Amino acid sequence: DAMVIQNPRYQVTQFGKPVTLSCSQTLNHNVMYWYQQKSSQAPKLLFHYYDKDFNNEADTPDNFQSRRPNTSFCFLDIRSPGLGDAAMYLCATSRGRVAIEQFFGPGTRLTVL
Amino acid sequence: EDKVVQSPLSLVVHEGDTVTLNCSYEVTNFRSLLWYKQEKKAPTFLFMLTSSGIEKKSGRLSSILDKKELSSILNITATQTGDSAIYLCAVEGGAGGTSYGKLTFGQGTILTVHP
Instruction: Tell me if chain A has a CB within 8 Å of the CB of B64.
Output: no
pLDDT of residue B10 exceeding 90, the answer is yes
Rounded mean pLDDT of A78-106? 88
What's the pLDDT score for residue A25? 96
Interface probe, candidates A7, A10, A102, chain B, greatest B C-beta count within 10 A: A102
Report how far residue A45's alpha carbon sits from residue A92's, in angstroms, rounded to the nearest whole number: 10
Where does the pLDDT of residue A58 fall: very low under 50, low under 70, confident under 90, or very high at 90 and above?
Answer: confident
Contact B11, B111 (CB under 8 A): yes
Q: How far apart are the first and last CA of chain A?
A: 36
pLDDT given for residue B101 in this prediction: 61
Asked if B101 and A94 come within 8 Å (Cβ–Cβ), the reply is: yes
What average pLDDT does range B87-94 have in this prediction? 87
Give the CA radius of gyration of chain B. Answer: 14
Which residues of chain B are within 8 Å of residue A55 when distances are taken between CB atoms? 98
Predicted pLDDT at A97: 63
Residues 6+ apart with CB under 8 A from B81: B15, B113, B114, B115
What pLDDT score was predicted for residue B100?
Answer: 58
Mean pLDDT of the A67-89 span:
96
